[in-house]
A and B are shown apart, each in its own frame.
Chain A
Amino acid sequence: MGWKIGLPRGLSYYTYFPLWRTFYQALGVEVIESATTNKAILDQGVKSVVDETCLPVKVFFGHAASLCSCELDYLFIPRLISVERKAYICPKFMGLPDMFNASRIQHPPLIKPVVNKVKSDRNEQFLWDCASPFTTKWSKIKKAWQEAEQEQSSHEQNLIKDYQDDDKLNILILGHDYNLYDHYINMGLWKKLQDLDCSIITPAQFSKEERDTQLKKFPRSVFWTYGRNLLGAVYCFMQRPGKKGVLILSSFGCGIDSFIDNFIIRRLIEHKIPYLNIILDEHTGEGGLVTRLEAFVDIIRWRSDYYQDHLSPYGQYVGCCKRDAGIHGLGCDCSTTSH
């Protein structure tokens, strides 16, 4: 008999969709994915959770709610605690099934396996929770999981590519996967940048090994997986040649980014790489975003093409008001003048 399981297209979906999809398909379960994010989904999500929650979680709830109206046997909401040693994902991922239970959405039974690799890599309990409603044959589960893991790693391999050092402007977009690949949330950022004739670099283009090695330069261990990805990618990117710019994409109220972005910005300032910090929320006006992107790209181009040394010193406050300098978080250097 055909089982149907719902896979909301939000949060961890963008990182692990090949894994979940292949796993359940190999078990003979029909996987129903929600549509790509649209206005209706976003609105539904905003209604279902408290205001203080960040945008991606709201979007996730919207996706899950949209699936609840389909005829499903189960809804898949994993509790991702940690996917690697000594690193967590985010407190909100940890409470996701509980938050969903507490919301007013009528939903089919949940499958909410716990992924926790902080201390050990054992995954029997997790696999059992995932698959026990559909099959109890251990061999079948193992085989499906193997297949799924293969699919996942080949997906990750495909993302890795070192960029060509051509004359194009290379923009590294630093964002958590669910902001980076959800083109509704990020308002078609990729397309907009490509239209401005930039080539786009994502954190996933650097291999995990390289990111982790580079991350050793950071004096403390970073205990968020997404934070590790971003910070590692920045270290890798700093080593690459070419015309560079970094676009930091974070969601409003993201606790992880509030710290990680600050670390990143400090390192970028040190290396004199220009950055643009874009914070996403429920507002959907695109005009402001386009203006900022254009200005950012123009400035980088001018900087490298014409005025190399005459542009205002990047990342430094050039005025003489001490208080404003403080707000910048930078020392006041009155000897520099702007042009």
Chain B
Amino acid sequence: MGLDVIVPPRPTKDTLSLGVQHSPEFACLPLKIVIGNLIEAKEKGADTLLMIGGCGPCRFGLYGQLVKEILEDIGISYQTIIIEPPDTGYWQFIRRIKKVIGPVPWWKVIQSIQLGYKKALLIDQLEKFVQEIRPREYNKGIADQIFNNSLQMIDNTQNLTELEEVFGLTKEKLWHIPKNEYADVLEIGLVGEIYTLLEPFASVEIERKLGKMGASVQRSLYLSEWVKEHLFTSKIFGLKENEYRSYASPFLNHFVGGHGIESIGAGVVFAHKGYDGIVQIAPLTCMPEIVAHNIFPQVSKKCGIPVLNIYVDEQTGQAGLDTRLEAYIELLQAKRHSLTAKNQYVNIP
């Protein structure tokens, strides 16, 4: 679109410690990473900050303002543009966007959005595929390598045909990874707060860890789905009802901000689909997820599915988490074996 977009470097420990220094102590992890990230992006030369606003009740709605004040205090000034969701007023929404894009014509904007959305969609498809392969491959880590390479390539594509090509190639490569088709793979549903779900750094790479331990992981949220739900089907296009909500209603029948209700609903859906377990992941002090956490024991009891709750914060020690995950996986395996043993016993006359 002719805008110079500076992609902040992937968050690392340095990013986090920069963010932790400057953020309020009890703020959630995403804010700390965002602040760290913005400081690093400034060093790379970014001058305008584009944030999505919100109108509550999750804290995310005030990120823009807080980030701006914190950065000003440490002497970093960005020109901040906060885009409120269209729900609060269409004209304002359009005006703000106009301010961002400047003289670029609208058709070009729509084209780029299309391309961007398609990229997200295909990356998510690849990722789902990788999640299937991870526990089954003989040489651990190959699928991830191929996937990471393809991310770079997808990022560089400029139009739809190139994109399709890269996608096909990657899929082919993934397909040919030697894998054990008969492996006994646990199915785990990952639910929780969106940022910690989508950003591997924030979730301490939990998906990869579980994959290596022999579990195939499905997330409740993928980026493309979120974009579809929030940008394309918000008020302008009518209905915005999420299927998870109806599943959550026996346990939690009201929106609690963030993704609290989706977490519960997805948990129930995973249980119905016969998954072996659910892992809930959320930043410490995340309000909607705490509500969900309080309700999960009941879901677990009613649907007969074990739930592991993990809170992430700036403590990046891995060993404790590894131990918990291993123990959880072993319990799930034991549960599965005892179930199959029982079934065999029942089947023999």
Contacts and interface: CB of A to CB of B under 8 A. Distances in A.
Nearest to B21: A326
Nearest to A94: B256
A94 B254 contact: yes
Given A52-B290, A102-B295, A266-B69, A95 B27 contact: no
Given A103-B294, A220-B62, A258-B59, A253 B73 contact: no
Contacts of B311: 52
Nearest to B248: A98
Interface in A250-306: 252-259, 261-263, 266
Contacts of A222: 62
B117 interface: no
Interface stretch (B195-203, B234-242, B280-288): B280-288
A99 B260 CA distance: 12
A73 B45 CA distance: 65
Sort chain A's interface into a size bin: 35 or more
A216 interface: no
Contact of B55 (A92, A223, A253): A223
B260 A91 contact: yes
Residue of A81, A220, A256 ringed by the most chain B CB atoms within 10 A: A220
Contacts of A221: 55
Contact of A255 (B69, B73, B286, B292): B286
B291 A223 contact: no
A50 B291 contact: no
A79 B254 contact: yes
B61 interface: yes
Given A94-B257, A331-B74, A102 B285 contact: no
A259 B62 contact: yes
Contact of A327 (B21, B66, B73, B284): B21
Contact of B73 (A224, A323, A329): A329
Nearest to A114: B254
Contact of B258 (A91, A224, A259, A263): A91
18 contacts: A52-B285, A52-B311, A53-B290, A88-B56, A91-B287, A94-B256, A94-B291, A98-B252, A102-B296, A219-B65, A223-B61, A252-B26, A255-B285, A259-B24, A266-B69, A266-B73, A326-B74, A331-B74
Interface of A: 49-50, 52-54, 79, 81, 86-92, 94-95, 98-99, 101-103, 114, 219-224, 252-259, 261-263, 266, 323, 326-327, 329-331
